[in-house]
């Protein structure tokens, strides 16, 4: 009963968190010898984050309001994610099967109305997919089983790609999932406008930022054009740059004053590259070096740590205290959350204690 009451309070915190939250950001992916290189800019007010190593064979129940049918699952895949507002609520990441998901704000978003499906919140939807899906097709198919809570979740859309060479822009419009993939994804990029609107402008501009339509467009649509142009002009046989370096060049072109960190995923190699505004050196993480067995400690790394090169071996053991410190810093740096009572932050930080290892 005490734990149940704590979760009610935690849901109150998430309600506050998701009222006005909106992530700008830009994402894209391009093929290098048939495999994806995925880039993302994170544009927000909070730079601090923890990179987390999430384990497989972990039993989870979604953090939703009492009275709602919460999704429950056991993680099939381990993953590495970037988290600002607590463990299990990632901004994006990649799993050991090679699935990548990143979030961006989309004010047009309308999540499904209540029905018989189990429910997750927006950011936990990302963790659910990384836990359970290996392919874009599996992410899309999950819409038959779960839905994102329409009452409190922030308006987001998602760019997704997998190791089999598929990619998708996934949105929720008019209460339904809309997945652009295959021929319906001519430009493998996404910013903060609907994919259809973005692609329409791309056609008007013919991918050329010198066209008058580009100058008249808002910043989101302009970033989409620039990212898409970067994707289109990549030529693995003619470019002298390494694909990861080229991805960072695109990210530079679509950056804004609020761009605080940049992430590039080499999907085939399972390597994550990242840099932040205050620690601009590029660092890398090799997923194959992690132990994803749930009987081993969860690992974390401060994204702002002043490190160089391969930082895979620099991860430390996770603790509730570290999660609480993350939440405190992020809430304090977020204007409309900074006055949240400390006891509520402690409750949210303790949510991962409800997870259990189901090692066979």
Q: Are 202 and 115 in contact (CB under 8 A)?
A: no
Looking at residue 1, its pLDDT comes to 44
Give a yes or no: residue 36 inside a domain: yes
Q: How many domains, in total, are found in the chain?
A: 1
Helix (H, G, I), strand (E, B) or coil at 118: strand
CATH code assigned at 104: 3.60.60.10
**pLDDT tens sequence for the chain (360 residues):** 454 445 444 544 454 444 344 567 999 999 999 999 999 999 998 999 999 999 999 999 999 888 899 999 999 999 999 999 999 999 999 999 999 999 999 999 999 999 999 999 999 999 999 999 999 999 999 999 999 999 878 899 999 999 999 999 999 999 999 999 999 999 999 999 999 999 999 999 988 999 999 999 999 999 999 999 999 999 877 777 899 999 999 999 999 999 999 999 999 999 999 999 999 999 999 999 999 999 999 999 999 999 999 999 999 999 999 999 999 999 999 887 889 899 989 988 999 999 999 975
Q: How far apart are CA 121 and CA 322, in angstroms?
A: 23
Give a yes or no: residue 238 inside a domain: no
Query: Which burial class, exposed, middle or buried, applies to 46 when counting CB atoms under 10 A from its CB (0-12, 13-18, 19+)?
Result: middle
Looking at residue 220, its pLDDT comes to 96
Task: For Cα atoms 327, 345, 276, give the angle at the middle one, nearest 5 degrees.
Answer: 5
Give a yes or no: residue 116 inside a domain: yes
Give a yes or no: residue 44 inside a domain: yes
Give a yes or no: residue 348 inside a domain: yes
Tokens of 64: 């939703």
Looking at residue 10, its pLDDT comes to 52
Q: Are 49 and 326 in contact (CB under 8 A)?
A: yes
Give a yes or no: residue 130 inside a domain: yes
Q: Are 87 and 323 in contact (CB under 8 A)?
A: yes
Looking at residue 360, its pLDDT comes to 58
Range of the domain at 15: 2-192+261-357
Query: Which burial class, exposed, middle or buried, applies to 147 when counting CB atoms under 10 A from its CB (0-12, 13-18, 19+)?
Result: buried
Q: How far apart are CA 290 and CA 207, in angstroms?
A: 40
Give a yes or no: residue 251 inside a domain: no
Q: How far apart are CA 116 and CA 58, in angstroms?
A: 24
pLDDT digits (tens, 9 = 90+) for 317-329: 999 999 999 999 9
Looking at residue 20, its pLDDT comes to 43
Give a yes or no: residue 235 inside a domain: no
Per-residue three-class SS string for 137-189: HHHHHHHHCEEECCCCCCCEEEEEECCCCCEEEEEEECCEEEEEEHHHCCCCE
Residue listed under structure tokens 């999950």: 142
Q: How far apart are CA 26 and CA 190, in angstroms?
A: 6
């Amino acid at each position: 009963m005490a734990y149940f009451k704590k979760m009610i309070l935690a849901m109150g915190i998430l309600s506050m968190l998701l009222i006005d939250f909106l992530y700008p950001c830009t994402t894209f992916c391009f093929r290098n010898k048939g495999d994806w290189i995925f880039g993302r800019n994170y544009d927000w007010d909070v730079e601090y984050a923890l990179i987390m190593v999430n384990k497989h064979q972990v039993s989870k129940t979604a953090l939703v309001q009492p009275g709602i049918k919460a999704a429950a699952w056991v993680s099939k895949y381990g993953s590495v994610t970037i988290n600002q507002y607590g463990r299990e609520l990632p901004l994006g990441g990649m799993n050991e099967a090679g699935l990548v998901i990143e979030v961006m704000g989309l004010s047009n978003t309308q999540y499904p109305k209540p029905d018989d499906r189990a429910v997750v919140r927006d950011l936990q939807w990302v963790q659910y997919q990384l836990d359970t899906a290996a392919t874009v097709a599996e992410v899309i198919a999950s819409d038959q089983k779960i839905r994102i809570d329409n009452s409190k979740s922030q308006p987001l859309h998602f760019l997704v790609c997998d190791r089999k060479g598929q990619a998708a822009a996934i949105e929720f419009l008019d209460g339904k999932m809309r997945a652009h993939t295959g021929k319906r994804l001519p430009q493998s990029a996404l910013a903060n406008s609907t994919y259809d609107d973005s692609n329409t402008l791309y056609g008007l501009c013919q991918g050329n930022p010198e066209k008058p339509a580009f100058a008249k467009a808002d910043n989101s649509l302009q970033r989409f054009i620039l990212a898409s142009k970067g994707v289109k002009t990549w030529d693995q046989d003619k470019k002298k740059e390494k694909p990861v370096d080229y991805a960072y060049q695109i990210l530079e072109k679509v950056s804004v004053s609020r761009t605080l960190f940049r992430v590039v995923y080499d999907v085939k190699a399972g390597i994550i590259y990242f840099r932040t505004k205050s620690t601009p050196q590029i660092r890398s993480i090799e997923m194959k070096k992690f132990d994803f067995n749930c009987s081993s400690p969860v690992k974390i790394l401060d994204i702002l740590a002043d490190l160089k090169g391969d930082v895979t071996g620099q991860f430390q053991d996770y603790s509730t205290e570290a999660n609480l410190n993350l939440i405190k810093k992020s809430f304090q740096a977020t204007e409309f959350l900074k006055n949240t009572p400390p006891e509520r932050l402690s409750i949210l930080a303790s949510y991962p204690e409800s997870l259990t290892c189901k090692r066979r």
